[in-house]
């Protein structure tokens, strides 16, 4: 039996509890979730392309909107997958800082 064309996407959402679908081609990613890969990279939940936020060449994504707190710390960032155009909001970027306050 041939795989459904969206099987990779379906498996990505099922296997990654740190990703939540919030709309058509819009997702939220809890960056401090225990099952988030330690390198920070993840597959786009829509097309499966590898997104590595530490890759400064930004070949796989573009930054749409960084959000900082009053102290200038990055707390959330919205990326767009260059492959399919999905928006991925990464949040909870500094869990250690939050726990120490």
Question: Mind listing the pLDDT tens digit for each residue in 23-39?
Answer: 889 998 887 776 666 66
Interval 71-96 mean pLDDT: 87
Residues 6+ apart with CB under 8 A from 2: none
Q: In what order do the strands lie in the sheet with 19-23?
A: 19-23, 26-30, 87-91, 74-81, 61-68
Hey, which of 26-30, 47-51, 57-61, 62-66 has the most confident mean pLDDT?
Answer: 62-66
Residue pair 64/79 in contact (Cβ under 8 Å)? The answer is yes
* pTM exceeds 0.75, yes or no: no
CA 38/CA 31 separation, integer angstroms: 10
Q: Which of the four pLDDT bands, split at 50, 70 and 90, describes residue 20?
A: confident
Say whether pLDDT at 86 is over 60. Answer: yes
Interval 58-80 mean pLDDT: 90
């Amino acid at each position: 039996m041939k795989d459904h064309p969206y099987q990779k996407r379906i498996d990505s959402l099922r296997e990654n509890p740190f990703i939540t679908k919030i709309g058509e081609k819009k997702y939220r990613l809890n960056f401090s979730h225990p099952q988030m890969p330690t390198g920070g990279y993840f597959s786009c939940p829509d097309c499966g392309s590898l997104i590595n936020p530490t890759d400064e060449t930004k070949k796989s994504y573009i930054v749409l909107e960084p959000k900082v707190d009053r102290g200038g710390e990055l707390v959330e960032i919205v990326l767009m997958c260059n492959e399919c155009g999905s928006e991925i909001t990464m949040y909870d970027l500094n869990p250690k800082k939050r726990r120490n306050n």
